[in-house]
Amino acid sequence: MRTVSVTTLARLPPQSGRHPRRVVISASSERSQVWEVQKERQVLRFREPSTGVQVVLIGTMHYNPASIQLVSSTVAGLAADKTLGALVLETCPQRWKGTLAKQPPGSALRSLLDNEFQAAVDAAGGEGTLVLGDQPIDGVMGELKELAAATFQDALSPWAGWARLRTDLSRGYLREFAGLPGVPSLAPTDLLMDPRLLLCLPVSLVRYPLGMLLKSPRFALPTFGVLAGLDQLLNMVPVGSDVAGSYVATPEEIFVTILFACLDVMQVVLLARCFLIGLLEKRNDILASSVRGACLEAAPGTAVVAVLGAAHLNGIQARLLREDPLDGVIPGSKAMHADVGSVTNETCL
């Protein structure tokens, strides 16, 4: 299995016996295109309009054994039939390299932090092309910092700032979660009503923060430290007293109560905006471009599988079914050429 990023995929010549199909259809014919959208559990299957290639989007709860089993069985089935054209992962070269270095196959950490991405590669058994289709992590973190600063500024501006927040949140929800009208998409009930997913939820809740702590201690430790500090702050506040049967709060208690109420509101707004714009919008653009690029390279009769967090599914499906094909190269992205077990970074010019 060769390993590439979206930039490399756009530049690779056709493999022997494999000719990328670049069939562009008109807007009128696209509207009448039969997408053949099917939904089963957290899986969306449809045909990418510009190529007719079968696309399989698998929405996962990260580190959840039920999601891992769903990914493994889906990928293994296609690999066994020799119909796995490409496997697109929601990760970038830098993150994938770190994952392979810290939890290589057969290691204790690989078992402890079992995840859907490595499970998908194992299930593929060398079939198809591995595409690391996500935005580079450095770009994500930089944009999140800028977005957080802008959100604080907008929160302090009741007129123009609040209007921008409202616009971003409503637009982000419609674009990333609502899905296309009349087209099957992932619904909250597909996650909340899946008993296998819910039974394995505690495993995700343990593995996710543990994975952050082990893989990104520079980010995880300050975050946990701030949360612990806020908890201790509450214990340091002088409590009120009972006066004539009524509780009278101290000035410190009143101040901290108001402070935490403001922080709660700010936290919801900040997290919602950073999630919708910083973690979904641009990354969904790039991931959808990666899936479409893989479709252009896929051999006839094969399918392109994308393993994603469940929150990405509807936004990526909408982009693939609604927008015009994009054959351009994502500026500044990194390419990776290697076998699955050995990774080397290379910048594409």
- Given this model, what pLDDT does residue 306 score? 98
- Given this model, what pLDDT does residue 223 score? 59
| C-alpha span between 172 and 284 (Å, rounded) | 11
Q: How far is CA 2 from CA 214, 221, 288, in A?
A: 28, 36, 20
- Given this model, what pLDDT does residue 208 score? 84
163: Cα within 13 Å, side-chain hemisphere: 2
pTM of the predicted structure, to 2 decimals: 0.74
**Token pair listed for 157:** 């501006």
- Given this model, what pLDDT does residue 348 score? 29
- Given this model, what pLDDT does residue 211 score? 81
- Given this model, what pLDDT does residue 140 score? 78
- Given this model, what pLDDT does residue 151 score? 80
- Given this model, what pLDDT does residue 30 score? 44
| C-alpha span between 239 and 247 (Å, rounded) | 10
Task: Indicate the pairing of strand 246-248 with strand 334-336.
Answer: unpaired
Mean pLDDT, 10 residues at a time, the chain of 349 residues? 59 42 37 68 93 95 96 97 96 92 92 95 95 87 82 83 85 87 90 93 89 69 60 61 60 65 61 76 93 94 96 94 50 36 31
CB-CB contact of 329 with 339 (8 Å): no
